Amino acid sequence: MAKINPNYRKLSAGYLFPEIARRVREYTTAHPDVTIYRLGIGNTTEALTPTVLQGLHDRVDALGVRETYTGYGDEQGEADLRAAIAAYYAARGVTLDPGEIFVSDGAKADAANVQNLFAQESVMAIQNPAYPVYVDSNVVAGRTGEYDAESGSYAGLRLLDGTPDNGWFAPPPQRAQDEVDVVYLCSPNNPTGAVATRQQLTEWVAYARQHRAVIIFDAAYAEFIADPELPRSIYEIEGARECAIELTSLSKFSGFTGVRLGWAVVPFALRAEDSEEGELNRMWNRRQSTFFNGASNIAQSGAAAALSEAGQAESRELVAYYMENARIIRSALRELGLDVVGGDNAPYLWVKTPHGPDGQPLGSWEFFDQLLHEAGVVVTPGSGFGPAGEGYVRFSAFGHREDIEAAVRSIRERLKL
Amino acid sequence: MAKINPNYRKLSAGYLFPEIARRVREYTTAHPDVTIYRLGIGNTTEALTPTVLQGLHDRVDALGVRETYTGYGDEQGEADLRAAIAAYYAARGVTLDPGEIFVSDGAKADAANVQNLFAQESVMAIQNPAYPVYVDSNVVAGRTGEYDAESGSYAGLRLLDGTPDNGWFAPPPQRAQDEVDVVYLCSPNNPTGAVATRQQLTEWVAYARQHRAVIIFDAAYAEFIADPELPRSIYEIEGARECAIELTSLSKFSGFTGVRLGWAVVPFALRAEDSEEGELNRMWNRRQSTFFNGASNIAQSGAAAALSEAGQAESRELVAYYMENARIIRSALRELGLDVVGGDNAPYLWVKTPHGPDGQPLGSWEFFDQLLHEAGVVVTPGSGFGPAGEGYVRFSAFGHREDIEAAVRSIRERLKL
């Protein structure tokens, strides 16, 4: 008699974004004439750029001719793309072997699957707030107990609480009883828009090396970093390749959210307490060869084009476009007296909820509802990213300029602060 | 201190295909002038068809215009593609709701991930021989003990031994102590090319309903079935939607091995012993929403084109091309006195090894080496698909016609039987 994996039942509520969609649908059904401005999901809106389009079309053409048709490729990615990714890192001073790079269909899948490399009893430490996939994948994998609505977390998970004081990056644990085995860090962070400083990452790398912990470093938003002092890859920190896996994506840099292309870096030097030399790299290779059959070859050619000199220049224009959106939102919200961080090195703005009529700060979902009902603006409640996000909402800077401007106008004119 | 998932170390040898590649490389390095004919991996070789190419190009064009650009889509697949898949089933008399269809990047990932729906202690029954992913994914998930070289299997897994007598589809277990919870069936089978009869599937569905087992039905090769009496979907069997998940792919039908597009059907009516109504469907929805971010939108448009009337007609021509290859291989091997099954409703031929000089049948790898060394032909050793495959090799019918003909000529002229 088949029985189900009971861990699915532990998952709290729905996934965050379906719940947002439900509330928006409910509201628009009741108010069909209201214009809705979507600054919730971090979804790209601008067209793919000419160099990428050419790369995609060229590959489709090649697939239409038997002499240039290709079927299954290497699960790890096509050799030219892996070389292009290595060159992309090299231009930033980070030397990687193509054998350390694993092309995937995006950072979300890698972020969810990477936990499978580690022992079931591992103590997983996850930034709070953070992208929900880190937590949810570990719940499904059975590494947690039940959800506790009071604390907003799951038994057995270690949350690393971000606060305004620590710049939304908690320092490594100090006490022996707080020791952790695997640490998820996302910088630039989704949702807070905060970027870990060189000093903060250096402390984490030192901790990981000392305690043989492994850092999962999600750098999906690295290209939004404008400040040259801020690290864009964890491998800019000395010793990181012994203790860190990096996940990256072209989703936000080159508009590949729908095309699907990302990669994981699993260095040969990466070590766990009980691993042999290069074993984690070989394990990820085995996982990808067994559970994955390579990213779409068309997407891979698009990615190679995106990483060409011309492609990168065009992608940087896309980033600049979204960052101007962020500037527009930030300055408007600050003019209204709201407390805003992020949006300078990341496409997300992290906004403290204002005080309600009772003089207390609104909850995340309360401010979400207020923005929706008064201004027709959809944001993402900070509490959806973890308990430390309570009292905040996330504004996404992805959108057409005219929609961003209209949303900002609607907030200025209609939001009752 | 991070520790690794110890289950990876249980995995026997390498994955089958890398080992084949290694032996071929070793041989060609020693004999650089020998022509190699690759009838090993089941990889498509013919160009994508005009209707599919148009669908792919059109979507790339749409992504280049901001008004028609799309970013993240539904993790479950685009609505028009899910509707097209439902219509594809309806034309065969199988009614599915689009909400029961989950578009993926291919059947391999679904086949590897589907075990996650079930409890850790589930007794998994796997066809023997079979595509290695069913076994390997359960090993990595920790459902087995160590590999036993003697039996060629892992402690805790239940192998369903195929034989010439049962047409390579073992019947359901009879004895209570042999009861199984989850059953992997692949029809048309990879590697044997055998197709389960309506009677065989009816027996398995009856077993599953009686014992509340769940059948994972891999129908990736369904379009190669020529005989109208043979079921192409398990849902042609009454009651199957209560007890079966079906996995399918456009890889072999439409040449999407590199483009990447498949789907899983998880019916609302599917039940495990302890599941609520529709719960397995919702669980798969949650898994895909957490661990996956949708198939490439370009591939999805290509798939919608492939499932159009014109697209299906072109895809059937591709299938006919490969099946003519199969006929050529089969008739040549039979003329040489070899014992061949498959190749009539599947693109694979399952060939019994001939007797060696000692009068005993050769082992799978021995015949593999003989074919490579004498004729330059690469096949796949049957033992790589499970212990019941020992004494057989698999010929794949995928290849350019001229290469197939040259391979057959080389076998005729050079193989010493």
Would you call B104 exposed, middle or buried from its count of C-beta atoms within 10 A (0-12, 13-18, 19+)?
buried
> For residue B43, which residues of chain A lie inside 8 Å, CB to CB?
71-72
Q: What is the mean pLDDT of chain A?
A: 96
- A–B interface: beta-carbon pairs under 8 A: 270
Low-confidence ranges of chain A (pLDDT < 50): none
Residue A289 phi/psi, 5° resolution? -70, -25
Our CA-based measurement puts residue B416 at a distance from the nearest CA of chain A, in whole angstroms, of 32
Cβ–Cβ of B2/A71 closer than 8 Å? no
Nearest to B122 among A3, A57, A137 (CB): A3
Which residue of chain B comes nearest to A244, CA vs CA? B2
Task: Let me know how long chain A is.
Answer: 417
Amino acid in the structure at residue A23: R
Predicted pLDDT of residue A203: 98
Integer-rounded Cα Rg, in Å, for chain A is 22
Amino acid in the structure at residue A320: A
Predicted pLDDT of residue A15: 66
Q: Say whether the peptide bond before residue B50 is cis (omega within 30 degrees of 0).
A: no
Which residue of chain B comes nearest to A18, CA vs CA? B289
Cβ–Cβ of B106/A293 closer than 8 Å? yes
Mutation target vs B (from A254, A259, A266, A301; most B CBs, 10 A cutoff): A259
Under DSSP, the state recorded for A71 is -
Residue A92 phi/psi, 5° resolution? -105, 10
Mutation target vs B (from A72, A75, A301; most B CBs, 10 A cutoff): A72
Cβ–Cβ of A116/B5 closer than 8 Å? yes
Predicted pLDDT of residue B149: 85
A193, A345 Cβ separation under 8 angstroms: yes
Q: How far apart (Å, rounded) are the C-alpha atoms in residues A236 and A402?
A: 38
Cβ–Cβ of A105/B57 closer than 8 Å? no
Closest CA to A249 of A222, A289, A288: A222
Predicted pLDDT of residue B15: 66
> For residue B50, which residues of chain A lie inside 8 Å, CB to CB?
64
Predicted pLDDT of residue B163: 97
> Tokens at residue A31, please?
């108010």
Averaged pLDDT, B126-133: 96
Q: What is the mean pLDDT of chain B?
A: 96
Cβ–Cβ of B286/A8 closer than 8 Å? yes
Q: Across chain A, how many H-helices and E-strands are there? A: 11, 15
Which residue of chain B comes nearest to A68, CA vs CA? B47
Q: How far apart (Å, rounded) are the C-alpha atoms in residues B43 and A243?
A: 37
Which residue of chain B comes nearest to A275, CA vs CA? B4
Residue for token pair 């080992």: B19
Cβ–Cβ of B1/A70 closer than 8 Å? no
Residue B183 neighbours by CB under 8 Å, 6+ apart: B125, B126, B160, B204, B208, B213, B214, B215, B216
Q: What structural domains and CATH numbers belong to chain B?
A: 13-47+311-414 (3.90.1150.10), 52-308 (3.40.640.10)
**Residue B294 backbone zone (phi > 0: left; psi -120 to 50: alpha; other: beta):** left
- Of all residues in chain B, what percent carry a pLDDT higher than 70? 99
Nearest to A15 among B60, B133, B290 (CB): B290
Predicted pLDDT of residue B14: 59
Our CA-based measurement puts residue B361 at a distance from the nearest CA of chain A, in whole angstroms, of 31
Predicted pLDDT of residue A67: 97
For the CA atoms of B381, B383, B389, B394, the dihedral, rounded to the nearest 10 degrees, stands at -10
Residue for token pair 């793919």: A48
Closest CA to B263 of B293, B229, B236, B303: B303
Residue B389 phi/psi, 5° resolution? -85, -5
Predicted pLDDT of residue B292: 97
Strand partners, B38: B378
Mutation target vs B (from A218, A298, A321; most B CBs, 10 A cutoff): A298
Cβ–Cβ of A283/B15 closer than 8 Å? no
Q: How far apart (Å, rounded) are the C-alpha atoms in residues B189 and B181?
A: 21
Q: Higher confidence at residue B40 or residue B402?
A: B402
Residue B34 neighbours by CB under 8 Å, 6+ apart: B27, B28, B376
Examine the pLDDT at B26 and tell me if it is beyond 70.
yes
